[in-house]
Amino acid sequence: MAGDRVAGARAAIAAGARAIVMDDGFQNPSLAKSLSLVVVDGGYGFGNGMLLPAGPLREPVAEGLAHARAAVLIGEDRTGAATQIGNALPILRAQLTPVAGTGLSGRRVLAFAGIGRPEKFFDSLREAGAEIVESRPFPDHHPYSAGEVDAILKRAGDAGLLPVTTRKDWVRLPHDRRDGIAVLDITLTWQDAAVPAALLAGL
């Protein structure tokens, strides 16, 4: 991760990178983009459709769609996002699936996550066969303190539960507090893998 996107891109190219993928770089004008995608959570959609601070959007939906090549709709469309996108863009459908062999099937867990929608992580855990006995959502990008992690570990130990979190959260834990905390890794599964492949082939 680079706070300066241009410096980060130059360093990546100098190290041999042939492609640069930016997360949350849609409105960042510092790098010219060959391809922009709008990624939509099917369970959340475009929220209340309002701009910050009244809603989650940084620009009106129509304006965002106008400078994207395609939309990626992840999970079941529970909010009518596909209807809002309409014919403005091709829609690539996908879903998040737990990586095989997580070892969580049948395990009683204390789940915690500081992501945009912790409920998505909890759903993925259930899909992997885990039994969530306790769950603790934190704000997105939450910087975990040693005390917070100690409290989670103690509670999990007292209750005989396995503490588990996302990979994104695990890397934000203090280095000396990571032992004993399981991670559920996930992968993106395309409904039709040929569609994104064709999109990328044109670059």
pLDDT at 33 over 90: yes
CB atoms within 10 A of CB 6: 11
pLDDT at site 2: 77
pLDDT band at residue 1 using 50, 70 and 90 as cut-offs: low
HSE on the CB side for 65, CA within 13 Å?
18
pLDDT at 71 over 70: yes
Mean pLDDT for the chain overall: 94
| Length, in residues, of the chain | 203
What's the Cα-to-Cα distance from 85 to each of 178, 184, 191, rounded to whole Å? Answer: 41, 31, 18
Question: Tens digit of pLDDT for each residue in 116-159?
Answer: 899 999 999 999 999 999 999 999 999 999 999 999 999 999 99
Cβ proximity of 163 and 110 under 8 Å: yes
pLDDT at site 78: 95
Q: Are strands 70-74 and 91-98 parallel, antiparallel or unpaired?
A: parallel
pLDDT at site 164: 98
**Across residues 175-189, what is the average pLDDT?**
96
